[in-house]
């Protein structure tokens, strides 16, 4: 390490999407300085050579001392209509409109739907939503070659607009051939997280997990109503989940999105899995240097609910004010977490401990930290499991995580309250306690005289062996025993 970075002044993480407005190394560094903790690379747009350059620029941030966190978001099976005569057509409310497999140019009466699996999946009464729900069709009949609908909400529709089918479990895999190629690329680049789009069932997560193995952590994007029906099973299989409010907001009525967001966040927290709230959080900042008051309240609500991370999409990827958007989200988070009622609000979701030693110690350590007025909680982990269990408790103090695995340190970038440090391995408890004191000082987490609550597993290096809780006081001479950069 050439320098050390003090923890953020907040516990919620900020995930910023990289795009045309923010892909240069200079802009990526500015986003990090403004408060971005992790970076999303969207595989729906751009060339892989561009993505490789972005990944390299993000990794270069580690020269500043903080592990970098990269999430690659796979496009998923996006359903689209075919082409129209002249590029578009106007659909009239109350008129019939057909979707077929003919391959001919469409008009105001019909268009190609190049997805054969849909024709036998839908039935009379099901809805088809086109162009993010701007056009609404109701199926009146369906066969293997033709779907007949009536136009409920009309308007202009153009080539290749997206199709949403909210009432049906669509019989298509979550990974397309493009996704598989993009996944192979992402794993070659050694990214930290893979986001799986349009998850409908646990089997989608299991399929991706088999391909990924332990090469990256897996985040399931919840954006289909069908996923809600099996939410617990999906969360159980994934390493994290995202409330992807874009398509979720198309397939659900607008008033249905907030309670669904609360349900997904609560379910993830109960399982002890990181949860990201995403899409349109500061949408007006794509073109404006300031957000609306409603957007500010939206971000704050996600923070009060205890989300691990909040995400910027077009605001940081293609907007006119990417750094300002990150800075604004950072300021909102600091303000919300400084609210005297925040500690109570963030515990509205009940997260009862499981009957394990790790959970028992995690719960106890939070209470002990409050009673002794500890400055931080410290855990040494080989897999990240201890850090996740401690973060699940939402303690009021920072969580300093030390790990000998750079991979683990990077993946913890989406975890609430965690300041991860990649450091050399330790061999015994006394050595770990000494290092905890020194790292707390060097990373400006604690000062002389402050108490730390330490969790670890003995023997060291054995995943899932958390069995020790210890309270120590930092002394003023800790830094004098620091042996130099090699220790880190």
Buried b (16+ CB within 10 A) or exposed e, 72-87: bbbbbbebebbbbeee
The residue annotated as part of the active site, out of 13, 136, 161, 221, is: 221
Closest C-alpha among 2, 6, 9 to residue 442: 6
Answer for the pair 428, 462: CB distance below 8 angstroms, yes or no. no
Residues 6+ away with beta carbon under 8 Å from 280 = 245, 246, 249, 295, 313
Residues 6+ away with beta carbon under 8 Å from 21 = 27, 316, 317, 318, 319, 320, 322
Tokens representing residue 462 in the block: 């054995």
- By residue count, the chain amounts to 488
CA distances from 408 to 67, 94, 227, 316 (A): 9, 56, 28, 26
Answer for the pair 179, 74: CB distance below 8 angstroms, yes or no. yes
Tokens representing residue 371 in the block: 């009673």
Q: 275-278 and 309-312 as β-strands: parallel, antiparallel, unpaired?
A: parallel
Distance CA 274, CA 309 (A): 8
The residue annotated as part of the active site, out of 59, 80, 134, 230, is: 80
* Complete DSSP assignment for 199-259: --SHHHHHHHHHHHTTSSEEEEEE-SHHHHTTHHHHHHHSSEEEEEHHHHHHHS-GGGHHH
The answer to whether the bond into 459 is cis (omega within 30° of 0) is yes
Q: Where are the alpha helices (DSSP H) in 128-198?
A: 177-188
Tokens representing residue 12 in the block: 């919620």
Answer for the pair 250, 223: CB distance below 8 angstroms, yes or no. no
The residue annotated as part of the active site, out of 279, 403, 407, 423, is: 279
The residue annotated as part of the active site, out of 8, 40, 269, 375, is: 40
CA distances from 352 to 241, 251, 271, 479 (A): 20, 32, 10, 39
Q: Specify the DSSP class assigned to residue 162.
A: B
Task: Answer yes or no: 80 catalytic.
Answer: yes
Task: Answer yes or no: 209 catalytic.
Answer: no
End-to-end CA distance of the chain: 7
Residue with tokens 């989940």: 241
Closest C-alpha among 45, 129, 120 to residue 81: 129
Active centre residues (catalytic):
40, 80, 221, 279
């Amino acid at each position: 390490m050439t320098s050390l970075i003090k923890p953020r002044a907040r516990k919620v993480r900020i995930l910023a999407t990289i795009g045309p407005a923010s892909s240069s190394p200079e802009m990526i560094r500015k986003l990090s300085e403004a408060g971005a903790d992790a970076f999303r690379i969207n595989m729906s747009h751009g060339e892989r050579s561009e993505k490789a350059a972005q990944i390299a620029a993000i990794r270069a941030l580690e020269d500043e001392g903080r592990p970098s966190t990269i999430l690659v978001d796979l496009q998923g099976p996006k359903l689209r209509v075919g082409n129209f005569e002249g590029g578009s057509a106007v659909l009239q409310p109350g008129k019939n409109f057909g979707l077929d497999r003919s391959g001919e140019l469409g008009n105001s009466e019909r268009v190609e739907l190049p997805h054969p699996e849909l024709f036998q999946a839908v039935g009379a009464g099901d809805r088809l939503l086109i162009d993010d729900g701007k056009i609404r069709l109701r199926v009146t009949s369906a066969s293997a070659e033709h779907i007949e609908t009536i136009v409920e909400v009309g308007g202009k529709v153009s080539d290749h607009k997206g199709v949403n089918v909210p009432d049906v479990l669509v019989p298509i895999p979550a990974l397309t051939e493009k996704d598989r190629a993009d996944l192979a690329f992402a794993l070659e680049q050694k990214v930290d997280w893979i986001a799986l789009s349009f998850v409908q069932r646990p089997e989608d997560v299991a399929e991706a997990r088999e391909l990924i193995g332990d090469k990256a952590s897996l985040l399931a994007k919840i954006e289909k109503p069908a996923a809600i029906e099996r939410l617990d099973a999906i969360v159980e299989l994934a390493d994290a989940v995202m409330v992807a409010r874009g398509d979720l907001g198309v397939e659900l009525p607008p008033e249905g999105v907030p309670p669904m967001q609360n349900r997904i966040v609560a379910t993830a927290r109960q399982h002890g899995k990181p949860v990201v709230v995403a899409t349109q959080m500061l949408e007006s900042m794509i073109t404006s240097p300031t957000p609306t008051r409603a957007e500010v309240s939206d971000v704050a609500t996600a923070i009060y609910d205890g989300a691990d991370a909040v995400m910027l999409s077009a605001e940081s990827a293609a907007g006119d004010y990417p750094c300002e958007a990150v800075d604004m989200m950072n300021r909102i988070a600091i303000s919300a977490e400084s609210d005297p009622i925040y500690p109570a609000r963030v515990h509205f979701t009940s997260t009862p401990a499981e009957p394990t030693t790790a959970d028992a110690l995690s719960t106890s350590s939070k209470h002990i930290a409050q009673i002794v007025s500890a400055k931080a909680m410290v855990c040494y982990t080989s897999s990240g499991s201890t850090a996740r269990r401690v973060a699940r408790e939402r303690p009021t103090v920072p969580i300093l995580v030390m790990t000998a695995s750079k991979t683990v340190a990077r993946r913890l970038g989406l975890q609430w309250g965690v300041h991860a440090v990649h450091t050399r391995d330790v061999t015994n408890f006394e050595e770990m306690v000494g290092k905890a004191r020194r790292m707390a000082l060097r990373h400006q987490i604690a000062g002389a005289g402050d108490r730390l609550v330490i969790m670890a597993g003995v023997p060291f290096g054995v995943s899932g062996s958390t069995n020790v809780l210890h309270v120590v006081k930092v002394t003023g001479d800790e830094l004098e025993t620091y042996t130099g950069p090699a220790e880190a």
